[in-house]
Structure 1
């Protein structure tokens, strides 16, 4: 999870960065951090302009229970006490 952001935004950012939600921050590579930063900027920019998390078909949050990238059934469980969803194929 990312502190200060809601579940849907965190799920979307991690999905776009292809990072599994259980990955400890200390295990992220420089490339992972760049991807995370880029994904966060794009997702937050779009959400702020929309005034909410937009229910777009190209977003993870708009296509549950299937991954919009690969069509795999999404997984869902609690991580750090919060409900999260991720693609087991894209976020391994």
Structure 2
């Protein structure tokens, strides 16, 4: 079994959150031959996600997550869970 994935579609919720939190503190780019730098002190993001919950052979609950793969309107809409992640740089 791959340590990062529950099945072929879902990654572990902890990995999903770690990937969302992987933000460089300093962003640099150049525009019209001028260097620009942005220091990130805080960031907040909210995203819907689909969850996959299973219990393994040792009765351990394992939670997987992915962003929604598609959006299709139906008479009974699927319930997506939402994750809000707020990152604040320590002083």
Question: What TM bracket, shorter-length normalisation?
Answer: under 0.3
Higher strand share: 2
Higher helix share: 1
Please tell me whether Structure 1 or Structure 2 has the larger radius of gyration of its CA atoms.
Answer: 2
TM-score, normalising length: structure 2: 0.21
TM-score, normalising length: structure 1: 0.21
